[in-house]
Structure 1
């Protein structure tokens, strides 16, 4: 009888399946797979075969499910669906789900041939029915969960993109508003530094809106060649806008001198947004009447831009989640929790890195490390 053969050779069949799985690229027999995959199915197959030898053989359908692909709840269907879900979470593909059950069928056939074990035609039909139902339920659940995860990923990406746009739109508007209020309060004309800040904010608004409209229209924007620009001039431009924000918050902005020969290459607007977000973050959390410092200098083949505050130090464990989207680490929830992530992505577009160092009891330092370039001779 097939159920006796399977019971007596259960360990050998599981081992053969494990060996087959291990031979496939990027596959290994995980603990979850061994517990709820082939071994559980094999036990349910044995149970089905035994019931079919009783006076109520149709009761086996509660374990195996019916033939001909009719949808029905069964023990094999439920566990196969769980198995398909687990394989998705483990990073496997739909064909690997099918292979798991095919391995067992092949192992049973090979071992039966080696040991000259005779099976009845009805027993083979039961084996095929159980395999068909298990594969169908495993693949169905795998596909459903895969599509569900894909939908969640698309929703998250769209939500993050909308957040990026709103965050940068608000930054550009705040910059323009600060400059306008400063010019109005001081009866200033708009030909000086304050006017430049206002112009930068308005141009930033226009650029963000234009890019958003291009995205809506599905227009692909070709990336331009990296733009070489002076680090000293860039820092001076950032300083003008940050100084206005520092005055509003009652803090002091300290900016070190920059070597005029140093240069950077990339999208100037993206880096402006990155450093602007770092300064905005520092001014938001630094204690009242303390300094926020901005230093830009070269070390070997890198340009480092440091933004240091006096926030009192970072909360325990926050460094690991500092750059995650929509994460906020203080009681001030006025932002979206996207500024640091935007800054990191912008810096990485330059081939750089953005990191944070905690100074316990004092504050923290965000450091952008970028490839170093030199200004061409005049």
Structure 2
């Protein structure tokens, strides 16, 4: 009988499977890590075959599960699902999950041929049922865990992008609010060509509208494609930064000095990301520099690179102040 053949040759079959696994690339799990794989399945197969020789053969379904792919709870299904999860955690692919059980089927067939062991048709049917259910449950759990992991990573990326978006949106609103407060303090006698109105206009039109347009464009684009870098004037870029943050410097009561920039210099980068990063850096400098000191902004060429530096007099940040940098 097959269960006697499997019991008598259990160690030999496991060793044959181990050798088959060893010949496949990128497979280096230990026996302990794969304890829910071939050895446990083989024991469950032997038990299933033994029960089918008793007066209540249908009790074997509690071990093997039913045939035909019907969903049900079984010992083989539970351990196979754990095996599939283990293989995912070890970095294996779904085809390696299937091969694990295929190795045992091949090992049984080869050894039976070598020993000229006769098996009954019903025993082969039981073997196939156990293999089918084990593979199905292992692959199902493997796929579920893999998809869950991918969904979690995607959610983290979406949250990160949302955080950047909200942060930039807050900066734009702060600039607009400061410009409006400056205008209100002057009883709204605004010079519509002046710096205050320019900041307000840029915040509302070039800021809010651009954030919304860029967000819509990103949604429409296929995932994974990054926006190509822009080539733009460094002097114009620094001028826009100066205009954008001057009100913030004034609100914090610190002097803000911008050195002149060579008009011949150009920079190749993602303009919006660079603008946002430099703006945030300057805002933190205004927030943490010592009272009565100044913040300076310099931009110049070093060989083939552009160096943009911000200097303040904060003397370094404490652990508590670091947490306030994004506030």
Partner in structure 1 of residue 58 of structure 2? 58
SS at match of 2:34: helix
Query: Mind listing any 5+ residue stretches in structure 1 that lack a counterpart?
Result: 317-327, 336-378
Tell me the distance in 2 between the aligned counterparts of 1:13 and 1:89: 25
- Report the CA distance between 1:78 and its aligned residue: 0.5
| 1:156-177 residue CA offsets vs partner (Å, 9 max, x unmatched) | 4444444443332222222222
- Report the CA distance between 1:41 and its aligned residue: 1.4
SS at match of 1:28: coil
Tell me the distance in 2 between the aligned counterparts of 1:122 and 1:224: 62
CA contact (8 A) 1:41 1:76 kept: yes
**1:130 and 1:246, CA in 2 relative to 1: closer, same or farther beyond 3 A?**
same
Tell me the distance in 1 between the aligned counterparts of 2:236 and 2:271: 11
- Report the CA distance between 1:245 and its aligned residue: 1.5
Partner in structure 2 of residue 194 of structure 1? 196
Partner in structure 2 of residue 296 of structure 1? 299
- Report the CA distance between 1:287 and its aligned residue: 5.5
Runs (4+) off by over 6 Å? 222-225
CA contact (8 A) 2:284 2:325 kept: no
Partner in structure 2 of residue 323 of structure 1? none
Partner in structure 2 of residue 181 of structure 1? 181
**1:19 and 1:262, CA in 2 relative to 1: closer, same or farther beyond 3 A?**
farther
**1:4 and 1:170, CA in 2 relative to 1: closer, same or farther beyond 3 A?**
same
CA contact (8 A) 2:289 2:295 kept: no
Partner in structure 2 of residue 360 of structure 1? none
- Report the CA distance between 1:29 and its aligned residue: 3.5
CA contact (8 A) 1:242 1:253 kept: no
- Report the CA distance between 1:155 and its aligned residue: 4.2
| 1:30-77 residue CA offsets vs partner (Å, 9 max, x unmatched) | 236522222221222233233344554433322222233333211111
Rg comparison, structure with higher value: 2
Task: Say whether residues 1:96 and 2:83 are aligned partners.
Answer: no
Residues 1-378 of structure 1 aligned to structure 2 (within 5 Å):
1-24=1-24, 27-31=26-30, 34-185=34-185, 189-202=191-204, 203-214=206-217, 218=220, 227-284=230-287, 286=288, 289=291, 292-307=295-310, 310=314, 312-313=316-317, 315=319, 330=323, 332=324, 335=327
Is the deviation greater in 1-10 or in 130-139?
1-10
**1:66 and 1:213, CA in 2 relative to 1: closer, same or farther beyond 3 A?**
closer
**1:272 and 1:87, CA in 2 relative to 1: closer, same or farther beyond 3 A?**
same
SS at match of 1:296: strand
Tell me the distance in 1 between the aligned counterparts of 2:22 and 2:286: 55
TM-score, scaled to structure 1:
0.70
Tell me the distance in 1 between the aligned counterparts of 2:11 and 2:280: 60
CA contact (8 A) 2:27 2:92 kept: no
Partner in structure 2 of residue 346 of structure 1? none
Tell me the distance in 1 between the aligned counterparts of 2:315 and 2:65: 64
CA contact (8 A) 2:81 2:139 kept: yes
Question: Pairwise CA RMSD of aligned residues?
Answer: 3.5
Tell me the distance in 2 between the aligned counterparts of 1:223 and 1:3: 59
Q: Name the structure with the higher helix share.
A: 2
- Report the CA distance between 1:138 and its aligned residue: 1.5
Is the deviation greater in 161-170 or in 222-231?
222-231
- Report the CA distance between 1:311 and its aligned residue: 7.0
TM-score, scaled to structure 2:
0.79
**1:118 and 1:249, CA in 2 relative to 1: closer, same or farther beyond 3 A?**
farther
- Report the CA distance between 1:105 and its aligned residue: 0.8
CA contact (8 A) 1:183 1:190 kept: no
- Report the CA distance between 1:88 and its aligned residue: 3.3
CA contact (8 A) 1:242 1:280 kept: yes
CA contact (8 A) 1:18 1:29 kept: no
